[in-house]
Amino acid sequence: MAKGLLPRAWVKRSFYFQARISFMRVKYLFLTWLTVLVSSWVVYVQYSAYTELCRGHECKNAICEKYRRGVIDGSACSSLCDKGTLYFGRCLSSLPNNQVYTGSWGDHSGVIRCQLGEAARYDLSDEPEPRREAPAFDQPSKGTSVEKFREMVFSLLKSKLGEQVNLSGLVSQILSVTDGNKDGRVSLPEARSTWAVLQRDEVLLGLVLQERGHTPRLLGFCGDLYMTDRVPYGPLYGFALPWPLVSWVPGSLQRTMDQWFTPSWPRKAKISMGLLELVEDVFHGTYGSFLMCDLAAVHFGYTDRHELRLTDTQVLVPEDEFRRNMRALRCETDADCVYGADCQTSCDLSEKRCGEQPLRPNLAKACRTLKDYLLRGAPSGMSEELERQLFACMALRGNSRQLDMEHSLILNNLKALLWRQISHTKDS
């Protein structure tokens, strides 16, 4: 009897074991299929995003087609379209219409930027990029003299920068850049390229600040495609977390992590002095005053010699333009009177209009950006004084009756304090 039960129990166990193996096979087959499906979807989405964002070949083809037809010309056209010595490298674009690539041109490495017309969109974002048409390159028109073109450039600069005594000098500088082949004359295609690239505010503001070394140098352009020097180190501090981790890492920890990957303190002090000098130069500069409406670290970088560079001049706005824009805004509270990321004025409740005077000057915002950057690792003998000066700087208000004097005093004191600490080091 016992012998008869043994085979039956063994059969039951064998059947149970085989059924379990079959179930596990089906389970793993399903998981494998699901993994392949999800991976394929991720690859498809990434490829679609890449092909939408990275359209450098379209940009080059459109520019070179206009160049070969004689519509445009410029210092970079021959290298880009004929000689093939200006190369597109890695795609950095974040918007389909604004193409950004690393590039190389002979011995120079840099960043290439180009404007494109509307691209087909595949994403379902709530705020799609505004539609832009491809540039027509029809200005100045045929028959325009060099003097007339000079007047056009002067009027454009005046509309952007306001009435400034030194505009004629800036016009002459721009005309010298316009002569791309250095033959001593400005051709109509060269003028059209210059006019197109000057419509991009970041180029115009870059030229304004270039002589002081605050922005990457303009290497050349063709149409509205242009190339600037590459800034080897950026952002000023911090790093971008992978997107799955962003929502899981607390903000306070992110700010602490940002300070882990920074140069030695004397080098940070030298970089910080560069930012203070930039603030000084745009406060009452050669071509008027500018407001810095986003001082996030991502908009700044530095060179191998630890010299600060403003990598995104779109954060600058001429003061005259700022005042015009704010006058046109209606408001209920001060929160309605914001320009860019952090340029704010007060709301006149009696007239329901925004005021023209910014509440916080550039220097106060710069000190806020530098506070954690400079205080971490500061020499013990000066950290207390440095902290005191930084907080005094952050307390500056744009409506102060003695703003010019306070601005100058705080700025000079900060620069002197930093210089005393690094003047005897090799980093100075």
Integer Cα distance of 311 and 300 in angstroms: 5
Contact 301, 231 (CB under 8 A): yes
Question: What are the tokens at 207?
Answer: 């030229």
SS3 for 212?
Answer: coil
Contact 270, 263 (CB under 8 A): no
pLDDT at 20: 56
Question: What are the tokens at 113?
Answer: 């930027």
In sequence order, the 6+-apart residues with CB closer than 8 A to the CB of 391 are: 371
- CA-based R_g, the chain, Å: 29
Handedness of CA 163, 164, 166, 170 (dihedral sign): negative
CA atoms within 13 A on the CB side of 80: 31
Q: Is the peptide bond before 358 cis (omega within 30 degrees of 0)?
A: no
| φ, ψ for residue 315, nearest 5 deg | -75, -10
Integer Cα distance of 114 and 99 in angstroms: 5
Q: What is the DSSP string of 132-145?
A: -PPP----SPTT--
| Cβ atoms within 10 Å of 374's Cβ, excluding its own | 22
H or E element in which residue 237 lies? none
Spans of all domains in the chain:
56-115+136-229, 245-324+359-424
pLDDT at 12: 53
Instruction: Give the pTM.
Output: 0.78
**CATH architecture observed for domain 245-324+359-424:** Orthogonal Bundle (1.10)
Q: From first to last of the 428 residues of the chain, give the pLDDT tens digit.
A: 444 444 555 555 555 555 555 656 666 665 666 666 565 554 444 444 445 678 889 999 999 999 999 999 999 999 999 998 999 999 988 788 889 999 999 889 999 999 876 433 333 333 444 444 556 688 888 888 999 999 999 999 988 888 887 888 899 989 988 888 788 888 999 999 999 999 888 888 888 888 788 899 999 999 999 999 999 887 887 666 665 565 666 766 666 666 677 888 999 999 999 999 999 998 888 888 899 999 888 889 999 999 999 998 889 998 888 998 999 999 999 999 999 888 999 999 988 999 999 999 999 999 999 998 999 889 988 999 999 999 999 999 988 888 888 999 999 999 999 999 888 776 55
Contact 343, 291 (CB under 8 A): yes
Contact 278, 254 (CB under 8 A): no
Handedness of CA 316, 319, 321, 325 (dihedral sign): positive
Long-range interactions of 20-29: CB distance < 8 A, separation 24+: none
Q: Of 275, 213, 212, 236, whose CA–CA distance to 411 is shortest? A: 275
Q: Among all chains, which residue has been given the structure tokens 């056209």?
A: 77
Contact 228, 217 (CB under 8 A): yes
Q: Which residues of 161-198 are buried (b: 16+ CB within 10 A; e: fewer)?
A: bbebeebeebbeebbebbbbeeeeebbbbbbbbbbbbb
Integer Cα distance of 316 and 326 in angstroms: 15
CA atoms within 13 A on the CB side of 194: 27
pLDDT at 30: 59
| Alpha helices per DSSP H over 104-250 | 146-161, 167-178, 188-198, 201-210, 243-246
Taking the C-alpha atoms of 201, 202, 207 and 210 in order, what is their torsion angle to the nearest 10 degrees? 150
- The CA distances from residue 346 to 392, 398, 427, in Å, are 22, 11, 42
pLDDT at 44: 42
